[in-house]
């Protein structure tokens, strides 16, 4: 009986350790908001491992690869494998080209985070934003329209702190 208890204990301990380590693995960068391609020419900032960093006006429907080309191409120490060169760009975005050997945190900004309109997005699109679940997404849709993001404070379940966390991902 004692042997059975110790076997159960060590099995439980092994499972807890495995599940705990699985949560510690680094996660991939995820685009939270579907891109909205407009007919306007976007202006984007290109920084990091490029020959000529700066702000560039690109053609409508431009991609990360177009921004990289406008900045004169990648520098020799650029790590292009960490970028989605086919990702579409919107106005006022920053594309950071990571350097080889850089930290993982520095490479996550290579894929731009696009902002989602709280007035036009569906509930399922709102659920892609960190901190918004199915119930909150339905309440956000129900309390439309919003003139500014501050109007989200009237939605039950959104307070000042949660609104601050949502601001980078949303627009009116």
**Average pLDDT over the chain, rounded to an integer:** 78
Output the pTM of the full model. Answer: 0.43
Per DSSP, 148 falls in state S
Residue 36 to residues 97, 128, 151, Cα–Cα distance (Å): 22, 15, 23
Per DSSP, 50 falls in state B
Cα 16 off chain centre by: 30
Q: Closest by alpha carbon to 87, among 97, 77, 78?
A: 97
Query: What mean pLDDT is predicted for residues 123-148?
Result: 90
**pLDDT tens sequence across 8-37:** 777 876 766 666 654 544 444 444 555 555
Query: Encoding tokens for residue 65?
Result: 């690869």
Task: Please state whether the peptide bond connecting residue 145 to the residue before it is cis, i.e. omega within 30 degrees of 0.
Answer: yes
Beta pairing partners, 99: 78
Report whether pLDDT(44) > 70.
yes
pLDDT for the residue 36: 53
Higher pLDDT, 155 or 26: 155
Query: What mean pLDDT is predicted for residues 160-166?
Result: 89
Minimum mean pLDDT among 28-37, 41-50, 102-111, 112-121: which range? 102-111
Query: Encoding tokens for residue 56?
Result: 């560039």
Round to whole Å and give the CA distance between 110 and 50. 12
Q: Percentage of residues in the chain with pLDDT exceeding 90?
A: 24
Query: What mean pLDDT is predicted for residues 149-158?
Result: 92
Domains of the chain: 43-110 (no CATH), 116-171 (1.10.150.320)
> Is 110 within 8 Å of 95 (Cβ atoms)?
yes
Residue 80: pLDDT band with limits 50, 70, 90: confident
Residue 38: pLDDT band with limits 50, 70, 90: low
> Is 96 within 8 Å of 80 (Cβ atoms)?
no
């Amino acid at each position: 009986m004692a042997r059975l208890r110790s076997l159960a204990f060590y099995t439980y301990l092994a499972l807890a350790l495995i599940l705990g380590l699985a949560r510690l693995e680094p996660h991939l960068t995820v685009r939270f908001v579907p891109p909205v391609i407009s007919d306007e020419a976007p202006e984007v900032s290109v920084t990091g491992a490029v020959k000529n960093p700066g702000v560039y006006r690109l053609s409508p429907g431009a991609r990360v690869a177009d921004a990289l080309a406008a900045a004169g191409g990648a520098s020799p120490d650029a790590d292009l494998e960490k970028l989605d060169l086919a990702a579409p760009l919107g106005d006022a975005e920053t594309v950071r080209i990571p350097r080889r050997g850089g930290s993982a945190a520095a490479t996550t900004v290579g894929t731009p985070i696009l902002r989602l309109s709280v007035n036009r997005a569906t509930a399922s699109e709102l659920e892609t934003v960190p901190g918004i679940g199915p119930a909150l997404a339905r309440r956000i849709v129900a309390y439309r329209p919003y003139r500014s993001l501050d109007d989200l404070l009237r939605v039950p379940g959104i307070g000042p702190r949660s609104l601050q966390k949502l601001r980078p991902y949303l627009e009116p």
